[in-house]
């Protein structure tokens, strides 16, 4: 058992659980996997997140960058491995399924001011920067083959253009449009759509997935000159940050790493090299930027190595078959 495995397995139960499943390829039936998963579900921090979702997605979404919004909390719980049958997850799923639009995507509660083209009222609606995350979470929770979920995915997939996914919203949001040219792709919408498609057997190898991947890689290649919808790939983008919520280098790398044809792309490898230069002398990663809503977590500070952040980088390397176990907790 090498140092990096020991470091991750002796940290928080969600880190240890994902390490066993994602890095060690241990089955969910493995006794140690079952044991650490139960410990994870009983942990006060996880209980706190789950309890915060007791009203589903009813908190008004004023900014998709609000890291503490239930939309992002739900996605994190899905990422660590919560699923149907776990405490309150079934209730959360039921609440989400109650708000499916006629187009297919599931809705969140929004309020778009009139001067931005909305009604100024609280209303259930969807945008292409939230709808993929809702579907992503539902798939991770265990609804991968659910017909209603598939309807939502199919609708969003068909919004693809030759240069990626655009800024798109439901009819309820009227004339609302992000700060960019309509013909430009929305980098964040493209990112979360790829994140969703990575879970889909039907779409993971599709032409639309390749278009989306190339869009993000092209934006990295032209990062000094091309900034659609004011999404930059500059200094802030290049800082290591968790959880994977917004448009930053580790989130982009993590999503792209799901697609094998990207692994040898020099643009992808350039991003990965930049990230791996940030490890400390023991091979661990220290957050360079934080979300204040997550300040109580190991990745919510910028002084010490973060087990979760370290795991996220190693998981990208694992998908490429290029892991190097050099991390130590000594």
Q: Provide the residue-wise pLDDT of the chain in tens; the chain has 330 residues.
A: 378 889 999 999 999 999 999 999 999 999 999 999 999 999 999 999 999 999 889 999 888 999 999 999 999 999 999 999 998 999 999 999 999 999 999 999 998 777 666 677 889 999 999 999 999 999 999 999 999 999 999 999 999 999 999 999 999 887 777 888 989 999 999 999 999 999 998 999 999 999 999 999 999 999 999 999 999 999 999 999 999 999 999 999 999 999 999 999 999 999 999 999 999 988 899 999 999 999 999 999 999 999 999 999 999 999 998 765 444 433
What is the domain extent for residue 9?
A: 1-42+234-330
Domain contains 215: no
84 and 166 part of one domain: yes
78 and 9 part of one domain: no
What is the spatial distance between Cα 235 and Cα 238, in angstroms, rounded to a whole number? 5
Domain contains 146: yes
9 and 35 part of one domain: yes
pLDDT attached to residue 4: 84
Q: Are 60 and 122 in contact (CB under 8 A)?
A: yes
Find, among 222, 221, 252, the residue nearest to 239 by Cα. 252
The number of folded domains in the chain is 2
Q: Final residue of a domain: which of 118, 153, 180?
A: 180
10 Å CB burial of residue 248 (0-12, 13-18, 19+) is buried
Domain contains 27: yes
268 and 305 part of one domain: yes
174 and 52 part of one domain: yes
49 and 36 part of one domain: no
Domain contains 242: yes
Q: In the chain, what is the greatest distance between 2 CA atoms, to the nearest angstrom?
A: 59
What is the spatial distance between Cα 75 and Cα 18, in angstroms, rounded to a whole number? 15
28 and 78 part of one domain: no
Domain contains 193: no
149 and 170 part of one domain: yes
Domain contains 304: yes
168 and 286 part of one domain: no
Domain contains 287: yes
Domain contains 223: no
50 and 167 part of one domain: yes
What is the spatial distance between Cα 330 and Cα 327, in angstroms, rounded to a whole number? 9
157 and 52 part of one domain: yes
**Residues β-bridged to residue 109:** 124
319 and 245 part of one domain: yes
Helix (H) or strand (E) holding 124: strand 123-125
Task: List the end-to-end C-alpha distance of the chain, in Å, as a whole number.
Answer: 14
């Amino acid at each position: 058992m090498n140092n990096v495995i020991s470091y991750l397995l002796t940290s928080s139960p969600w880190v240890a659980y994902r390490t066993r499943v994602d890095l060690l390829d241990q089955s969910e039936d493995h006794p140690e996997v079952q044991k650490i998963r139960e410990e994870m579900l009983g942990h006060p921090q996880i209980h706190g997140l789950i309890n915060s979702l007791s009203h589903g997605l009813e908190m008004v979404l004023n900014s998709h960058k609000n890291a503490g919004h239930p939309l992002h909390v739900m996605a994190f719980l899905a990422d660590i491995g919560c699923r149907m049958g776990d405490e309150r997850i079934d209730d959360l799923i039921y609440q989400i399924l109650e708000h499916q639009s006629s187009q297919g995507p599931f809705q969140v509660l929004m309020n778009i001011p009139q001067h931005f083209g909305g009604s100024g009222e609280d209303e259930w609606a969807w945008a292409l920067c939230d709808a993929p995350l809702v579907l992503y979470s539902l798939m991770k929770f265990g609804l991968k083959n659910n017909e209603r979920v598939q309807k939502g995915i199919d609708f969003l997939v068909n919004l693809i253009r030759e240069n990626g996914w655009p800024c798109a919203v439901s009819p309820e949001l009227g004339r609302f449009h992000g700060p960019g040219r309509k013909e430009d792709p929305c980098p964040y919408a493209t990112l979360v759509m790829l994140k969703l498609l990575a879970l889909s057997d039907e779409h993971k190898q599709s032409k639309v997935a390749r278009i989306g991947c190339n869009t993000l890689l092209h934006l990295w290649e032209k990062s000094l000159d091309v900034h659609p919808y004011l999404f930059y790939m500059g200094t802030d983008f290049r800082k290591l940050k968790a959880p994977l919520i917004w448009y930053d280098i580790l989130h982009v790398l993590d999503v792209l790493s799901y697609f094998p044809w990207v692994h040898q792309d020099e643009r992808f490898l350039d991003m990965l090299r930049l990230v791996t230069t940030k490890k400390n002398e023991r091979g661990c990663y220290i957050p360079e930027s934080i979300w204040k809503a997550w300040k109580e977590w190991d990745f919510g500070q910028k002084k010490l190595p973060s087990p979760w952040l370290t795991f996220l980088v190693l998981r990208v390397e694992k998908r490429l078959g290029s892991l190097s176990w050099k991390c130590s907790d000594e």
